[in-house]
A = this chain, B = another copy of it.
Amino acid sequence: MDNIKIAVDAMGGDNAPSEIIKGAVDAVNELGSNIILVGIEDVINKELDKYSFDKSKITVKNASEVITTEEVPTMAIRHKKDSSIVVGLNLVKNGEASAFVSAGSTGAVLTGGTFIIGRIKGIERPALGTCLPTANGKFAFLIDSGANVDCKSNYLVQFAKMSSLYVEHVMGIKNPKVGLLNIGVEKEKGNSLTKETYSLLEETNLNFIGNIEPRDVPFGNADIIVCDGFAGNTVLKFAEGLSQAIMGIIKDEITDGFYKIPAAFLIKPFKNIKKRFDSEEVGGAPFLGLKSLVVKAHGSSKAKGIKNAIKQCEIFVENDIVLKIEEQL
């Protein structure tokens, strides 16, 4: 890991800087990672003082500004040149780091990634891949999960190609099954975008298994689910809301009424359920199609999520996924 350095945005996310910095330290201690922490130097150093680790493995790069999730991404990237996101992305652009991890503003990370690091030649649109937990205890890689709200069929084919390489080499699933998110299983179902994409995917050498209906998504029938960013983001956010709503209702029903079960009995099972759906296990959402990897960690990431996002970057770089994508095009 000695030649790989990962730049980490110390200031982004709900639990920044403490959990981010703890995650970086854990990566150093457990994985032997090399990290550049980007953000307000004094704040970072004060946090780092709490831990013992090999000091040669973490450097701090000062960035005086922070981009908030409330800011308009394009404006923020343009005007906050000394923000942790812009400075971190520039480290990657200049070759001082191999990849960038941020739990900050999704919009700013995607916009900044595209403008500062730039697309792989031939890639029409970089796309965000998110691991969606499924009932079989595995994950489905949902791409695009929100970066491109208006898509053409050839973008979706590129999403499928990039994510097949990613899922195989970074997540270790051989010859991953690619499904097209669609409102029917038959080839002729769907809107003009999915119909066109279906035909194009059939012509590729990918392990294309056809359409995946939204009702089958939670059961993990496909390793990769390809869709436009509007549909992907809808699925992602609806999953969040619906599972929260259902869990709330179940808690109410079970702990209420004549046949009530004491709430304490639910602590363990609900903890287990939470664990099953622990997205921190897989790190963050890779923004695929750029000349280097940018990982958007969840806004609520804790140390474990950041450590795993760093690991994810290292595997990506070691396996030279960017080169593999270039070769596939």
| A residues lining the B interface (CB < 8 Å) | 134-135, 146, 149-150, 181, 183, 190-192, 194, 213-219, 228-231, 233-250, 253-254, 256-259, 261, 265-266, 268-270, 272-273, 276
Contacts and interface: CB of A to CB of B under 8 A. Distances in A.
A253 B238 contact: no
A296 B10 CA distance: 54
Contacts of A276: 249
Nearest to A150: B191
Select the residue from A190, A234, A240 with max chain B CB neighbours within 10 A.
Answer: A234
A107 B190 CA distance: 13
A245 B191 contact: no
B238 A266 contact: no
A266 B269 CA distance: 14
Contacts of A190: 149, 230
Nearest to A213: B237
Contacts of A256: 269
Contacts of A272: 253, 257
A233 B191 CA distance: 11
12 contacts: A183-B234, A191-B228, A194-B230, A213-B241, A218-B242, A230-B231, A231-B231, A234-B234, A246-B247, A257-B268, A259-B265, A259-B269
A196 to B, nearest CB: 12
A259 B268 contact: yes
A57 to B, nearest CB: 38
Contacts of A237: 183, 213-215
A134 B215 CA distance: 18
A140 to B, nearest CB: 12
Contacts of A245: 134-135, 218-219
